[in-house]
A and B are shown apart, each in its own frame.
Chain A
Amino acid sequence: MESVDRNGKRITDLSYLVSICEDDDDFKTEMIETFLKNTPPLINDMKNYLIDSEWKMIGDIAHKMKPSFTFMGIHTAKDLILSIEKQGRMQENIKEIPTMILELESICKAAFAELETELIQE
C-alpha cells in the first residue's frame, strides 16, 4: 500500500518521537509497535459502538487515541479525531460521525503501512 496521503505526502512524521528518544532506537521501535498493536482494536471498538449509537463512548475513544497520534506525527488526522471526540461527547451532528470514522480508518491504514515499513528498515 502507498504510504502517502491524497496529496502524495507522507502521513506520519516521526520527528517528535525521535526528539524524545534521542538515540534510543529501541524505545522508538517499542512506541511504534505499541501504537500498531493498540490502535486497530480502538478503531474496531468505535465501529462497534457505531452500531449501538453509543456516541459518547465513540467520543471517549477518540479522546484516548489523540495523544498517540501526536507521537506518530499523524497531523492529517488531528482535526478529524478532535471532531469525532467533540461531536460524539456532545452528540452533535452525529450523522457525520460514521463517515468520519471511516476516513480515520483509512488514514490509519496508510499510517500503519508507513510505520511497518519504518520498522522493517530499522
Chain B
Amino acid sequence: MSSNESIKIFIVEDDPVYLKFLNYVIGLNPDHEIKTFSNGNDALNALHERPSIITLDYSLPDKSGEEILKEIKDFDSNIPVIIVSGQEEIGIAVQLLKLGAYDYIIKDEETKERLEYALTNAKRNINLVNEINTLKQEISEKYEFGNSIIGNSPAIKRVFDLMKKAIKTNITISITGETGTGKELVAKGIHYNSARKKKPFIPVNLAAIPRELVESELFGHEKGSFTGAITRRIGKFEEASGGTIFLDEIAEMDLNLQAKLLRVIQEREVTRVGGNSIIPIDVRLLVATHKNLADEVKKGNFREDLYYRLLGLPIQLPPLRERDTDIILLAKHFLSSFCIENDLGDLSLERETQEKLLRYHYPGNIRELKSVIELSAVMCNDNVILPEDINFNSPKSEENFTYQELSLKEYNDRIIDHFLKKYDNNVLKVADVLDIGKSTIYRYLKEKTI
C-alpha cells in the first residue's frame, strides 16, 4: 500500500452522533474508503471485504468489544483494531491491548488528534508489513531452483532431484562439497521452496564464530551468565523458530559442543547459557561442510552418534569442473548480472574466451568463476571479453593441475609456463627452481612462438 492508495476502514459504532463524528474525521483523508456499522455482527460478517483498519466501540448492543476484537483477530491477526471507547477504566484498556488491539482511544476532546495519530501509525505499520511480505515473496522467487541455481549438466540435475525430495519433508539435510560450490544457495533453495518458507532462514557459519562464543550464539544466554552478557539474548535456534537453521562448516564444531547439539536435536529443546528453563524448538536443520565428515569421525574429530543424526538426506555438490557446459551458462549469468549492476551495457564472451574458461579447473569453484568474470568485465576494452581479459589467479591453481588427462609433455609445458609467470619470465631463475637446463626452457619458448 503506497501513501496514495485507497485504504479501507471499517467504523463500528452504535451512537449515531459519534458515528457521524468518526466518519467525518476519518473521511478528511480522501485516501480513506469508509464503511460504517452500528453493531458488531454486521461488521464481522463483512470481514471478507478485507478492511485495512477497524475502529471499534467497546460497548455495542449485540456483543462486547472484547468478543468482537477476538473474532477479528481470529479472522486476521494483522488487521489493526483501534478501540474508541467511553470506558475510562485502565483495566479494560490493558485487557484489550493484551488481546491485540492496536490502540485504545477514550472518547473525549482529544479523540480527533489521537485518532489521526493512531491511523497514521497503523498505516505506516501496514506499509512495513506489506514491504516485508513483498520482500519475502521476492526472496522466495529468487530462490526458486531454476532462478537461483544455474545449470543443466547431469551433475547439477542430480542435485535438483535431491532438493525436490528434500522440500517434501523436514528431514535433516547434510550438504557437502568443495568450497565455493554453492552449499548455502542449496540450503536457501530448500528452505524457500519448503512449507517453512514464510518463517526465518537462519544461516550460521560455525567457522566464523570464536569457539568460546558458539554455544551462546546457537542457544542464547541469560543476563549475567558470563562477563559481557549484559542482557538476555535468544540464540539462533530460537530465532529460527518455525523455520530453518543452516549450520555451515559443521565439522569445525568442537567435541564438547557437539554433545550439546546432539541433545538439542534429540530433545527438540534448548537451554540458554546460564539459564534453567527449557525452551521447546520447532526448527528444521540443514548442515554443510567442505570436509568429509566420515573421515572426521575416523580421526576422532567428530562424534559418530552426531554424524548419523546429521546425515539425513546427503546432498553432494559437484565441483564446477565436473559441470561441463554449466561453466559457460554461469559465466554468462554472472557477466549479465555484473553489467546490469554496474551499468556497463551488454558484454559478451568471445568463443576462444569460452574455450579458455572451459579448460580451467576452478579450485575455487563458482565463487572463483564469478570473480574471474567480474574482473574480466572490468578489464575488457570493447564489448567483447577476450581470452587475455581472463585471469586465473587462484592460489590453489597449481595443486590440482592433474585434473585433466594430458600428455607428460603438456604437463611439462604447463609447469614451465606457471613458473615463468611466477618469476616474471626470468629463465635462469625458473631453470634453477625446476632444476632443469635453461636450454630446455628456451626450447619450450621457441616452440610456443612457432
Contacts and interface: CB of A to CB of B under 8 A. Distances in A.
Interface of A: 16, 20, 24, 27, 30-31, 34-35, 37-38, 60, 63-64, 66-68, 70-71
B414 interface: no
Contacts of B87: 63
B117 to A, nearest CB: 15
Contacts of B86: 63-64, 66-67
Given A63-B59, A66-B86, A67-B15, A20 B21 contact: yes
Contacts of B16: 34, 37-38
Contacts of A60: 59
8 contacts: A20-B21, A34-B17, A38-B17, A64-B15, A68-B15, A70-B107, A70-B109, A71-B17
Contact of B20 (A31, A63, A64, A70): A31
Contact of A31 (B21, B107, B108, B112): B21
Interface string B40-75: 000000000000000000010000000000000000
Given A64-B14, A71-B21, 16 more contacts: A27-B20, A30-B20, A34-B16, A34-B17, A34-B20, A35-B17, A37-B16, A38-B15, A63-B86, A64-B59, A64-B86, A67-B15, A67-B18, A67-B107, A70-B108, A71-B17
Nearest to A62: B86
B25 interface: yes
- What is the size category of the interface that chain B forms with chain A? 10 to 19
A16 B113 CA distance: 13
A66 B107 contact: yes
A94 to B, nearest CB: 21
Most buried by A among B20, B25, B107: B20
Contacts of A31: 17, 20-21
Contacts of B444: none
Interface in B270-290: none
Interface in B1-23: 14-18, 20-21
Contacts of A64: 14-15, 59, 86
Q: Is the interface of A mostly helix, strand, loop or mixed?
A: helix
A38 B21 CA distance: 14
B19 to A, nearest CB: 9
Given A68-B18, A71-B17, A27 B59 contact: no
B442 interface: no
A30 B20 CA distance: 8
B396 to A, nearest CB: 75
B24 interface: yes
A20 B21 CA distance: 9
Interface in B67-102: 86-87
A12 to B, nearest CB: 14
Contacts of B112: 20
Contacts of B25: 20
Contacts of A24: 24
A64 B21 CA distance: 14
A27 B24 contact: yes
Contacts of B109: 16, 70
Leading 3 A-B pairs by shortest Cβ distance? A68-B17, A67-B107, A38-B16
Contacts of B20: 27, 30-31, 34
Contacts of A66: 86, 107
A66 B85 CA distance: 11
Nearest to A65: B15
Contacts of B24: 20, 24, 27
Most buried by A among B14, B17, B20, B87: B17
Nearest to B87: A63
B61 to A, nearest CB: 10
Nearest to B18: A67
Contacts of B21: 20, 31, 71
Contacts of B18: 67-68
B352 to A, nearest CB: 76
B119 to A, nearest CB: 16
A34 B20 CA distance: 8
A33 to B, nearest CB: 9
A86 to B, nearest CB: 11
Nearest to A28: B24
Contacts of B59: 60, 63-64
A41 B421 CA distance: 101
A51 B164 CA distance: 75
Contacts of A34: 16-17, 20
B30 to A, nearest CB: 14
A37 B15 CA distance: 12
A63 B87 CA distance: 8
Nearest to A36: B17
B435 to A, nearest CB: 96
A63 B16 CA distance: 14
A35 B21 CA distance: 11
Nearest to A35: B17
Contacts of A67: 15, 17-18, 86, 107-108
Interface in B248-268: none
A31 B108 CA distance: 16
A24 B16 CA distance: 19
Contacts of B108: 67, 70
